[in-house]
Structure 1
Amino acid sequence: MARRLRPVEVDFVRAAPVRLVFAREITAPPQTVFRALAEDVPGWTQWFSAVTLARPTDDGAGREIRLKGGTRFAETILVAKEPEVYAYRVDATNTPGARALVEEWRLTPAGAGTRVQWTFAADGTPVFRLVLRLARAGLGRAFKDAVTALDRRLAR
């Protein structure tokens, strides 16, 4: 890992200089979605196409994530409250310009399924912030595709 990030807590999700929020309803129930997010970490590679490696670390208190293109993250789980919230902080990354990053997955019942909301909260250099804002549409598509693939996977 190239750099350590600022060790923020889950409240950073509400106060971050850059907050990208995406939501989608799927048919799987919240408990099932939560388990796929929090308990089947290696399974992320099966439904989130950008993820090439996902593994728990520190007896499940952290995660190691690798993305297509070589981006790497060492993360700490901040909240794992079944079936409502799963959030983690990036502690170290090779992403240039990043200073702090938290991702939160919030799950709420929606009819017979789940409303999945993903918040990507970040701080960094001015260039990093600008790049994230410009990447909003692409991250939104990646979220939509990933959650759709997760729903298909959970229906099997």
Structure 2
Amino acid sequence: MNAVETLEISLTVNGERVKRSVPARLNLADFLRNELELTGTHVGCEHGVCGACTVRVDGEIVRGCLMFAAQADGCAVDTIEGLSDSREIEELQSAFVLYNALQCGFCTPGVLMAAQALLRDEPNPTRERIREYLSGNYCRCTGYQSIVDAIEAVANARAANR
């Protein structure tokens, strides 16, 4: 029987230092969910197309199911829990409720991660740009109209406060 190769990793998750021994082939999404009990990162397709596993690594959003946990060694990882606890996405969360931009909630963490990244990089996106940016985040419940409405409302509110 072959032994599972493990690697020592050290990273920062939501501002906290984490050191673990992990199987070399463990993906980041499963590491966050199973090892750190950060279950807001969802695993949907396991092929990187649905966006449910979206997390932020060193400031850039990535698909957690396509990245090995070992690849995050030395990195800063932010999950939906970290963005929520820090209140970074508070406006987006409120807008999603106001505009009924969530139903079952499975896609919501990934969509919020992507929306925050978009608004950080492009503070005043068009509706078309919002739709394009979210094209890698699947939602089977709401359709996308209310999601786009919520993100557009936050962009407009932030622009008015600048």
The normalised TM-score by structure 1 is: 0.31
Instruction: Decide which structure has greater helix share.
Output: 2
State the TM-score, normalized to the length of structure 2: 0.30
Q: Looking at secondary structure, tell me which structure has more strand per residue.
A: 1
Larger Rg belongs to: 2
The structure whose RCO (Cα within 8 Å, separation 6+) is larger is: 1
